[in-house]
Amino acid sequence: MKSTLWMASLLCSSVMLASCGKPSSTATTEQQSASPTPTEQIAKTPKAYSAADFFETTTVFGSSINHDGSAVLVTSDESGVFNLYKYPVDGAKPTQLTHSEDDAFWGVSWFPNDNRALYTADKGGDELSHLYVLDEQGNHHDLTPGEGLKASFYGWSDDDKGIYVATNERDNKAFDLYLYDISNFQRLMVFENTDAWQLSDVSKDGRWLALIQVHTNANSDIFVVDLASNDKTPTLITEHDGNISFSTFTFTPDSKQLIYGTDEHGEYQQAWSFDLASSEHALLQKADWDVAFLYYSRHGKYQVTGVNADAQTQLQILDTASGEAIALPALPAGDLRGVGFSSDEKNMAFYINSDTSPSNLFSYQIGDQEAKRLTNTLNPAMAEDDLVTSTVERFKSFDELEVPGLLYKPLTASADNKVPALIWIHGGPGGQSRMGYSAAKQHLINHGYALFAVNNRGSSGYGKTFYHLDDKRHGEDDLQDIVYAKKYLQQLDWVDTDNIGVIGGSYGGYLTMAAMAFTNEFKVGVNIFGVTNWVRTLESIPPWWESFRQYLYDELGDPATDKERLMRISPLFHADKIQSPVLVVQGANDPRVLQVESDEMVAEIRKNNVPVEYVLFDDEGHGFVKKQNRITASEAYLNFLNQYLITTPEKSAE
């Protein structure tokens, strides 16, 4: 199990969307299979769009259906800031429910028996999220008031009268679990987390709590607690030898089994069940890739499973009584994402997303001949055929390891019109570049830049051996994968081999700076809130990450014992070697990669008399959630690349 801390925390994406997936129906693969490969693609000149055009696209997510099945709770940035919206399932005009002009509001769930809603929000990206109630009169109530605390939603009680909430207000290193009475919002602590366990899931009947104990980055365990017992000592359910990872998916709707994931039986994570009465384990689902998630509709009529197959999720919806996949109506090409069910299990809400189309919301009454499309999120002034679909490509690295990536070939590219290229590095460690719409990527591609989104060793999704190849080898072997990705690009007859740069966010920003400091391979680098001083970063781990501290040390090194190596791989201490232009982009409120990291990096590069540009957002954290800031960042990327990466006759003359 890659730590949810780093997989979900250091990703370059500024918005965490609903679980992505794709049904097994061949209709959803039409767009990918019908698109030409980079060598077959016929060059054309697409209409050029501005960053503002791309971000005029609306980002939407959330699939909670309300108590009477009439509307979906959606989080949307239509206003420029993420707010809550009510989307009627019949396609009627949506209603904006919140009107924040500053902090992003993230929808969580409707209340089970009325049109109140839960949402979370932090302050300026500081990640100290509180849980709020939006009542039917539009009033906001903070369920978790206080300074310096972080809160998370853990589900509804089976009788719909309670909310499970975790907060670290008692001890900022540990999250305790509370049950709130929704009639008066009084609460009761149901588990005091004195040992800083990772809380995982609560059974619907409120009896069982699942916990994760992380031993190393390759070894973890699941424990369960009987909350109905006076003795709340966690009980180990995954006794094993050696390095085996366990993670939880969900409790079954009848609260009789815990469904979990493990790589105990091979390279990839499988889904297993644990019977809480008999303590028996049984295989539930396996594949030739990781089973990424599994969950149920409220009463268990349907089971949703996602398999992470080569950077694209294969999603399946089963009728649990028959064991057969449900038949879906004809849908637009793309991936099925974020499937939610009404409480009576008669209706679904879901999204369709592809490289060339942002997520669009659909409602579907199960058994009908058609689904109803509720959104049109692509800017109407843009055409999908001006955008580019990626293809999965692989290359051999320095040690003959086969490394995958997603290649985006601009429509203008050909052997007679070679284009500059960028290697796009995902966040992590342990993240993954995946198929799906990205305004930032498509903006650069639309302006003539090829992108190769490399899943270097250490990326998740390719088996546990591949995943652990970079352990305490960061900035070394994974960096060589990036160098060899450049060599792969140089073999393509439509790439301008002299004009290749590197770009990445968070851990990808780190590898970008490592590429600039430790190699002379790349003409430019774009560092988006990237780590530059591993000693400081690992010493400043936020207290609420305590359950993952050892995990991070196993992955990267302990600053108390591995300081020499961490300094050796930290670009800040080798900035004198940077000789090519760099753009640095940072959020001032980032609690993960502190602003001082970027401040110092920029100052050191300037000492070399090397061009360096710095864009700092005062109102953002680790990722840019405000639409205008995302536009500004994308404009900065393009302007910088146009100045320093493209070779023109005028520049050559200089």
Three-state SS at 600: helix
The pair of three-digit structure tokens given for residue 179, joined into one six-digit string: 């049950």
Which residues, at least 6 apart from 614, have a Cβ–Cβ distance to it below 8 Å?
Answer: 583, 584, 585, 586, 598, 602
| Confidence grade of residue 41 (pLDDT, cut at 50, 70, 90) | low
Q: What is the mean pLDDT of the chain?
A: 91
Q: What's the pLDDT at 646?
A: 86
In the chain, the percentage of residues whose pLDDT exceeds 70 is 92
Residue-wise pLDDT for 453-489, tens only, equals: 999 999 999 999 999 999 999 999 999 999 999 999 9
Phi, psi (deg, nearest 5) at residue 519: -140, 165
Q: What's the pLDDT at 32?
A: 36
Which residues, at least 6 apart from 622, have a Cβ–Cβ distance to it below 8 Å?
Answer: 9, 10, 125, 127, 506, 529, 587, 590, 591, 592, 593
Residue 317 has pLDDT above 50, yes or no: yes
Distance CA 165, CA 149 (A): 13
Nearest to 21 by CA among 477, 340, 480: 340
Distance CA 53, CA 620 (A): 22
The pair of three-digit structure tokens given for residue 594, joined into one six-digit string: 């502190």
Q: What's the pLDDT at 548?
A: 74
Q: What's the pLDDT at 42?
A: 56
Three-state SS at 4: helix
Q: What's the pLDDT at 77?
A: 96
Residue 449 has pLDDT above 90, yes or no: yes
Three-state SS string across 499-536, please?
EEEEEEECHHHHHHHHHHHHCCCCCCEEEECCCCCHHH
Q: What's the pLDDT at 650?
A: 54
Residue 217 has pLDDT above 50, yes or no: yes
Residue 12 has pLDDT above 90, yes or no: no
Residue 39 has pLDDT above 50, yes or no: no
Three-state SS at 613: strand
Residue 4 has pLDDT above 60, yes or no: no
Residue-wise pLDDT for 563-582, tens only, equals: 999 999 999 999 999 999 99
The pLDDT of 239-253, averaged and rounded, is 97
Nearest to 430 by CA among 388, 476, 463, 394: 463
Nearest to 268 by CA among 5, 30, 462: 462
The pLDDT of 534-538, averaged and rounded, is 92
Residue 8 has pLDDT above 60, yes or no: no
> Lowest-confidence range among 17-31, 94-108, 228-242, 445-459?
17-31
The pLDDT of 172-199, averaged and rounded, is 96
Residue 365 has pLDDT above 80, yes or no: yes
Residue-wise pLDDT for 250-264, tens only, equals: 999 999 999 999 999
Residue 133 has pLDDT above 60, yes or no: yes
The sign one gets for the Cα dihedral 554, 559, 564, 570 is positive
DSSP 61-121: EEEEE-TTSSEEEEEE-TTSS-EEEEEETT-PPPEE----SSS--EEEEE-SSSS-EEEEE
The more confident residue out of 335 and 501 is: 501
| Confidence grade of residue 540 (pLDDT, cut at 50, 70, 90) | confident
Report whether 247 contacts 260 (CB < 8 A).
yes
Fold of 384-644: Rossmann fold (3.40.50)
The pLDDT of 131-146, averaged and rounded, is 97
| Confidence grade of residue 543 (pLDDT, cut at 50, 70, 90) | confident
What pTM did the predictor assign?
A: 0.91
Sequence ranges of the domains in the chain: 384-644
Report whether 318 contacts 310 (CB < 8 A).
no
